A and B are shown apart, each in its own frame.
Chain A
Amino acid sequence: MNKRTGWALPYFIFLVLFVVLPLLLIVVYALQDGSGHFTLANLGKFFTDRDSLSTFALSIEVAIENTVLCILIGYPAAYILADKNLNRSAVTVVLFILPMWINALMRTLATAELFTMAGIQLGKGTLLFGMCYDYLPFMIYPIYNQLNKMDKSYAEAAQDLGATPREVFRKVTLPLSMPGVWSGVMMVFMPTVSTFAISEFLTNNKIKLFGTIIQENINNSMWNYGAALSLVMLIIIAITTMLQKEEPDES
């Protein structure tokens, strides 16, 4: 029995080499100058550069708005799809995932083109709409899964005990579906902060998000500053992940 734990060894080595080491390298490069000496200048540059800071703030803002929008639109959709009385066919669920098989860049270009044709100026509004578009399936699917997995007898018991449908939803269904909402948030929030191509297409390069400056720095061989910007993102990921871990303990 014990011997078989060794079957995970190749993957463990792979993870150390291709996940842990690369992340450590982000930290190392972020704390070095071009000639390999230790410095805090890269991080200092980020915290004193008005442009980077405002791009960063805007990215967080757009990501929060996009996440909230995806929850508001996606939750009812997931709820309807998971309700056997309202939706009987599994094909409808497949239809929601299907667009993900079409290249995301191509879909985004078509969306931007549709806006232009409708005479809508490309800007923050179109950016938000297009982002919501791209990420909505990532919100719907985990919530749908969670609702589907849920033991229906809790809701029925609440109903039998005299709860109104609204109370059943607020006190039983919603709290039980929160893990799904959280995984949806993880799949929408950080990716929104870090997208680069999608935001460029949707605003015709008028609005830069954080991902774009990381990409520009790396591509212009400013590896150390690019790594410092990535490190800032890594820290936020660590914080949000820890926040998420604490959430289930409360309930």
Chain B
Amino acid sequence: MKAKKVFARAYIWLLLVVLYAPIVFIAVFSFTEAKSLGNWTGFSMQLYRNLFSGAMQNSSALVSAVQNTLLIALAASIVATLLGTLAAIGIFNMKGKKRQTMTFLNNIPMINPDIITGVSLFLLFVFLHISQGYLTVILAHITFCTPYVVLNVLPKLSQMNPNVYEAALDLGATPAQALRKVLFPALRPGMISGFILSFTMSLDDFAVTFFTRGTIGLDTLSTYIYADARKGGLTPELKPLMTILFLLVLVVLLVINMRQSKNNVKE
């Protein structure tokens, strides 16, 4: 039993070391001035200074790529959360064929690989003569985010007492009040996890954005990195940027996790 435990631990840690090697690699080389990734020219905070003072080549392009990434992720996941929550309530109350159809349709964007979602939406916007830019990227992101919100909210609906909403209506609440005061609080955990999932998927997306951003020069972090790498030279300031983003996420996740386990202990 003991040997098994040691072996299991070793396996998990080995995997984690391999999984984190590239990230550590980026972080280490963010503290040197060299342009290319594996090149160490002595310790320096210069790249961090450049990043914050904006004293670097095409700094405005990188800054706007970061802004676009965050704005698109925020807009898409807010809309996806609202649309998906309402849809989940509707689907929950459906039966038979109707419910099957909605579940089937909801599954399609999750099964489709990014490139199919991207190409198909690209053809849609071409077909409808919609000029591509922010709006089309946000619509595309809503398309692949909403199914995950639906899937996260549905289980919360089956957990709650179905009579509470009716009771609120009977006691004189308007449907909007009942929604805001009864349904949303009960569904909140599902909505939050759906929102977080949507946000992260939107942040990380490359292929769908690539096909739906049009030719107005709209860049997110992903498309910026892709174009940069294809040109041959990666903007060195991306290394400190990635390191900072990673540390932020690490802290946020650890805090969420610790609060959760504290709550579990309380319960």
Contacts and interface: CB of A to CB of B under 8 A. Distances in A.
A14 B246 CA distance: 34
A12 B105 contact: yes
A85 B2 CA distance: 11
B114 A18 contact: no
Contacts of A223: 123, 126
A211 B121 CA distance: 16
B8 interface: yes
Interface in A199-251: 200-201, 211, 214-215, 218, 223, 226-227, 230, 233-234, 237, 241
B22 interface: yes
A11 B86 contact: yes
A95 B176 CA distance: 40
A102 B87 contact: no
A98 B249 contact: yes
Given A5-B90, A103-B222, A18 B242 contact: no
For the residues of A in contact with B, the DSSP-based class is helix
A212 B207 CA distance: 11
Nearest to A136: B19
A110 B8 contact: no
Interface stretch (A43-51, A154-162, A166-174, A188-196): A188-196
B15 to A, nearest CB: 6
B119 A19 contact: no
Contact of B90 (A8, A101, A234): A8
B171 interface: no
A110 B22 CA distance: 5
B151 to A, nearest CB: 12
Interface string A99-122: 111111111111101101100000
A105 B120 contact: no
Contacts of A133: 18-19, 22
Contacts of A7: 86-87, 89-90, 93
Contacts of B16: 92, 95-96
B249 A77 contact: no
Nearest to B243: A102
Given A19-B143, A230-B115, A110 B25 contact: yes
Contacts of A100: 200, 204
A4 B85 CA distance: 12
A181 B3 CA distance: 27
A101 B249 CA distance: 7
B122 interface: yes
Given A7-B90, A76-B11, A103-B242, A29 B229 contact: no
A25 B124 contact: yes
A25 B123 contact: yes
A169 to B, nearest CB: 13
A206 B101 CA distance: 43
A226 B116 CA distance: 10
B105 A20 contact: yes
Interface string A1-29: 11011111111101110111111011001
Most chain A C-beta atoms within 10 Å of own C-beta, residue among B15, B126, B221, B226? B15
A206 B150 CA distance: 41
Given A99-B19, A99-B23, A102-B245, A90 B261 contact: yes
A69 interface: no
Interface string A110-146: 1101101100000000000000010011000000000
A102 B242 contact: yes
Nearest to B25: A110
B76 to A, nearest CB: 12
Contact of A106 (B114, B115, B238): B238
B115 A194 contact: yes
B109 interface: yes
A218 B11 contact: no
List the 8 closest A-B pairs by CB distance, nearest first.
Answer: A8-B90, A22-B120, A11-B87, A110-B22, A7-B90, A194-B113, A113-B37, A22-B124
Interface of A: 1-2, 4-12, 14-16, 18-23, 25-26, 29, 73, 76-77, 80-81, 83, 85-87, 90-92, 94-96, 98-111, 113-114, 116-117, 133, 136-137, 186, 190-191, 193-197, 200-201, 211, 214-215, 218, 223, 226-227, 230, 233-234, 237, 241
19 contacts: A4-B90, A7-B86, A7-B90, A76-B11, A91-B257, A101-B249, A101-B253, A102-B242, A103-B222, A105-B206, A109-B229, A113-B25, A113-B38, A116-B38, A136-B15, A191-B114, A197-B207, A211-B115, A223-B123
Given A91-B257, A92-B12, A102-B246, 8 more contacts: A14-B142, A19-B105, A80-B12, A86-B8, A98-B253, A102-B23, A110-B26, A133-B19
